[in-house]
Amino acid sequence: MINPQFIQKLKQVCEFDKNVALKEKTTFRIGGKVPFFIKPMNSQEFIDAVRLCQNFRIKYVIMGAGSNVLAPDANIDFVVISTLGLNKCYINRLGFLYAEAGVRLADLVRFATNNELGGLEYLIGIPGTVGGAVVMNAGAFGSEIGNFVEYIDILENGRMVRLKKENLFWGYRHSTFTNSKKYAIIGVGFWLKKERLDVITKRMQYAILLRAKTQKVGYPSAGSVFKKSGDLAPAYLIEQCGLKGYTVGGAQVSTVHSGYIVNLGYSTCQDVLKVIHYVRNKVKENFGVTLELEIIVL
């Protein structure tokens, strides 16, 4: 039961919807209803919404495009604060490309390209936002977002802070912000190289082609479920265990890319968790490798 005073105050902060099914808000198309789906339209509303949840001790999850999360089927006791309204991208007075947390990566890459700023183009096909990408240190084809970040504006325990690059940690699909509820990412300053438009465009087209060739799985998913373990791709290990196409209910190890689990249209969160459990056990049994999850289970 949500405190009625919280609801009153929230009305003064920003728009929200009630009883929203997360299957409509995640790329996996899985997830039960959250009592409140909060929709700040700018960074001030976002900051106010986060602070309000903190003050009232309301459990909350910040969500960008929902492309790296697996949401529970029912009994959800948290609200969601969406960043999708924080979608401004510009070159700031310091000369950095500044993107608010909810800017889609495709829009970020297009904006950078139009300004002849190179480096980010390998991220073009990742269906996430800047905030989610920074949390995950998202990357593709050997390039990661963290390589280009100069500073990040965050809310930490209700206080606005600018973290400079020397104070940030970047690992493989991991950053200062992964699995930490302490931070709310507001916006990111990128330092990018001035390059010729045709050179940037060529790299972008290459990334688009490569992704279409290897990762067009045809069903809703959250991308790669497991992290790479050393040099070994989870997809290879899973395939070697004969698990391509392994299915529980509506969740299936993709027949196109074994690193993905896809939703055949009627998958529940439980189905996906069962597939994950089985796959991990089999890979451990056959290769002695413990696969670590890349997706975030909410």
Ligand X SMILES: Cc1cc2nc3c(=O)[nH]c(=O)nc-3n(C[C@H](O)[C@H](O)[C@H](O)COP(=O)(O)OP(=O)(O)OC[C@H]3O[C@@H](n4cnc5c(N)ncnc54)[C@H](O)[C@@H]3O)c2cc1C
Nearer to ligand X, 84 or 97 (CB): 84
Could you please report the per-residue DSSP string of 104-134?
BHHHHHHHHHHTTEES-GGGTT---BHHHHH
* Token digits of residue 131: 């905030």
Q: Which of 29, 104, 173, 280 is catalytic?
A: 173
Nearer to ligand X, 134 or 282 (CB): 134
Nearer to ligand X, 62 or 241 (CB): 62
Helix (H) or strand (E) holding 56: none
Helix (H) or strand (E) holding 264: none
In the bound complex, what is the minimum distance in angstroms from residue 288's beta carbon to ligand X?
26
* Share of the chain residues as helix, strand and coil, in percent rounded to the nearest 5: 35, 30, 40
In the bound complex, what is the minimum distance in angstroms from residue 5's beta carbon to ligand X?
25
Q: Is the CB of residue 120 less than 8 Å from the CB of residue 96?
A: no
Q: Is the CB of residue 222 less than 8 Å from the CB of residue 28?
A: yes
Q: Is the CB of residue 226 less than 8 Å from the CB of residue 30?
A: no
* Token digits of residue 107: 């829009």
The answer to whether residue 173 is catalytic is yes
The answer to whether residue 43 is catalytic is no
Instruction: State the angle between helix axes of 4-13 and 43-55 in degrees (0 to 180), rounded to the nearest 10.
Output: 170
In the bound complex, what is the minimum distance in angstroms from residue 177's beta carbon to ligand X?
6
Nearer to ligand X, 253 or 282 (CB): 253
Nearer to ligand X, 38 or 282 (CB): 38
The helix/strand count (H/E) of the chain reads as 7, 21
In the bound complex, what is the minimum distance in angstroms from residue 3's beta carbon to ligand X?
22
Q: Is the CB of residue 241 less than 8 Å from the CB of residue 258?
A: no
* Token digits of residue 18: 């009630």
Residue 69, classed as helix, strand or coil, is: strand
Nearer to ligand X, 215 or 286 (CB): 215
The answer to whether residue 143 is catalytic is no
- Write down the residue that tokens 């490798």 correspond to: 289
Nearest of 238, 249, 242 to residue 283 by alpha carbon: 238
Task: Give the binding site for ligand X (CB under 6 A).
Answer: 27, 61-69, 83, 101, 126-129, 131-133, 135-136, 138-140, 173, 183-185, 221-223, 296
Q: Which of 45, 100, 121, 294 is catalytic?
A: 294
Using alpha carbons, list the distances in angstroms from residue 92 to 100, 109, 187.
Answer: 12, 16, 12
Q: Which of 43, 82, 175, 224 is catalytic?
A: 224
In the bound complex, what is the minimum distance in angstroms from residue 260's beta carbon to ligand X?
7
Which residues are identified as catalytic? Answer: 173, 224, 294
